[in-house]
């Protein structure tokens, strides 16, 4: 979803992107002279543990402003000789705008920008968010690192929100492999940059793919699949807390979480994976029992 912002809208949304950052934030602007309110927002984000990255134009930052930025502990500060783009990004929003991180611009200039809700495009292969992130990553790659954040010093540089779809899929596969203990997941590109997470031979002759649902890929003779299909109850709610679909023996069975069931309320991402693993194992055991 796009939203047009005029100067007043930008005065609201630039600090909001900083204030609503949960884990990471990227700012690319050629010119910086922060107002007191904007600088306090950056300090407050730092106190929440937000990993920040700012790219500015080489030789455009006055010494006093540079010292202010270097006082932000978890900030990676970079400069680029030719950057003229202006954007602000956290986990949920991307703002592409004409406005610098500059007090005079906030108070005097006529500015405009486009705010993009990133989640709205998360399931599309060819989308403007991915294109913008690729350009942001290219600018960062060609910049010079001037100051490392505390986290970069201790753990190495890694900003998740600038990763492309494959990078995010690889990260999630590592998370799944760790959660499932002895199962190995790998990213599989289905089409146009859309990735699923594949575990080959989750059980003997059964692969699974894991996204917002789980698909069970049976590597068995057609007649055996047909027999299994008619042996398993085709009740959508046969597994408590889940929805199970297997419409035809020539198609794959699918398992979803039942979002209306109380077991899915107020749980973390790790807990969600653990519950899904239980559902997967119930379906796999049912398939193997009827082989």
Residue 114 contacts residue 95 (beta carbons within 8 Å): yes
User: What CATH number matches the domain at 2-162, 3.30.870.10, 3.40.50.11540, 3.20.20.80, 3.40.50.920?
Assistant: 3.30.870.10
- Kindly compute the dihedral angle of the four CA atoms of residues 184, 137, 9, 116, in this order, to the nearest 10 degrees: -40
Would strands 194-203 and 186-191 be described as parallel, antiparallel, or unpaired? antiparallel
Q: Which residues of the chain have pLDDT under 50?
A: none
pLDDT attached to residue 136:
96
> Given this model, what pLDDT does residue 165 score?
83
- Position 196 scores a pLDDT of 94
Quote the pLDDT of residue 114.
97
Give 187-194's long-range contacts (Cβ < 8 A, gap of 24+). Answer: 191/125, 192/125, 192/126, 193/125, 193/126, 193/130, 193/165, 193/166, 194/123, 194/124, 194/125, 194/165
Residue 129: its pLDDT value, please? 86
Give the pLDDT of residue 46. Answer: 97
Is residue 109 classed as helix, strand or coil in its secondary structure? coil
Nearest to 287 by CA among 243, 237, 249: 249
pLDDT confidence of residue 153: 95
């Amino acid at each position: 979803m796009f939203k047009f912002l005029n100067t007043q809208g930008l005065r609201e949304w630039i600090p909001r992107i900083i204030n609503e950052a949960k884990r990471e934030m990227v700012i690319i602007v050629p010119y910086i002279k922060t107002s007191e309110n904007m600088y306090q927002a950056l300090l407050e984000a730092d106190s929440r543990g937000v990993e920040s990255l700012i790219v500015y134009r080489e030789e455009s930052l006055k010494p006093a402003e540079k010292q202010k930025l270097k006082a932000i502990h978890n900030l990676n500060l970079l400069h680029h000789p030719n950057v003229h783009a202006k954007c602000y990004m956290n986990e949920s929003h991307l703002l592409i705008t004409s406005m610098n991180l500059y007090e005079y611009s906030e108070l005097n200039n006529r500015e405009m920008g486009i705010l993009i809700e990133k989640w709205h495009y998360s399931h599309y292969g060819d989308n403007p968010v991915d294109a913008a992130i690729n350009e942001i990553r290219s600018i960062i790659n060609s910049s010079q690192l001037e100051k490392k954040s505390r986290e970069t010093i201790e753990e190495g540089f890694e900003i998740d929100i600038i990763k492309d779809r494959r990078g995010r899929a690889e990260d999630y596969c590592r998370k799944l492999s760790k959660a499932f203990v002895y199962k190995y997941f790998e990213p599989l590109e289905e089409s146009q940059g859309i990735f699923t997470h594949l575990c080959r031979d989750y059980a003997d002759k059964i692969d699974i793919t894991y996204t917002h649902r789980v698909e069970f890929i049976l590597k068995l003779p057609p007649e055996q699949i047909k027999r299994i299909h008619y042996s398993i109850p085709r009740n959508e709610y046969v597994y408590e807390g889940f929805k199970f679909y297997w419409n035809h023996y020539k198609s794959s069975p699918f398992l979803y979480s039942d979002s209306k069931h109380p077991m899915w309320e107020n749980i973390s991402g790790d807990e969600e994976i653990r519950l899904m693993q239980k559902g997967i194992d119930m379906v796999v055991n049912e398939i193997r029992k009827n082989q």
